[in-house]
């Protein structure tokens, strides 16, 4: 199949962490994997795009419910390692007040990718600022 998923699955290996490990244990595992001579890079997230993500209602700055969206928590190098492309902005700092979204998300909140940068949205109970917009990528099954 020659489908563009919006990320590169070439030489991708997914290792499941059930969330029961401490951050120290996860960091140690990642460092051990990174030290292997055949490993080019390593990153982490709660889920892989092929699995899908959990959902959350997205609201505008006035609290109006706009739609439900899937989300993930990722390492700062995740887009680069996965071969995802930014069409505007940059990776969010590693704090809970900034997010990156994709083109469809920006469109659904009524902005071009460029104009979405700096916009505040409500994700759950948190106000977050969009710092980057990724080229669309497929979530869920390969089929």
Q: What is the pLDDT of residues 52-111, one digit of tens each?
A: 555 778 887 777 888 887 777 788 888 888 888 999 999 988 777 888 999 999 998 899
| C-alpha Rg value of the chain to the nearest Å | 16
Residue ranges per structural domain of the chain: 23-134
* Mean pLDDT within 15-25: 72
* Mean pLDDT within 5-17: 67
**Contact criterion met (CB below 8 Å) for 91 and 98:** no
Torsion over CA: 109, 111, 113, 119 (sign): negative
- Give the predicted TM-score (pTM) of the model: 0.76
**Contact criterion met (CB below 8 Å) for 101 and 133:** yes
**Contact criterion met (CB below 8 Å) for 48 and 15:** no
* Segments in the chain forming alpha helices (H): 23-34, 78-82, 103-108, 113-116
% of the chain at pLDDT higher than 90: 20
């Amino acid at each position: 199949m020659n489908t563009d998923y919006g990320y590169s699955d070439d030489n991708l290996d997914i290792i499941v962490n059930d969330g029961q490990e401490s951050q120290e244990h996860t960091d140690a595992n990642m460092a051990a994997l990174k030290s292997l001579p055949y490993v080019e890079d390593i990153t982490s997230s709660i889920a892989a795009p092929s699995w899908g993500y959990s959902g959350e209602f997205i609201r505008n700055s006035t609290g109006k419910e706009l739609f439900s969206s899937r989300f993930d928590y990722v390492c700062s190098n995740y887009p680069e390692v996965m071969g995802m492309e930014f069409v505007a902005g940059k990776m969010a700092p590693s704090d809970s007040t900034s997010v990156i979204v994709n083109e469809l998300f920006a469109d659904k909140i009524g902005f071009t990718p460029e104009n979405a940068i700096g916009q505040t949205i409500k994700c759950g109970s948190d106000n977050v600022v969009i710092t980057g917009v990724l080229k669309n990528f497929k979530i869920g099954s390969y089929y």
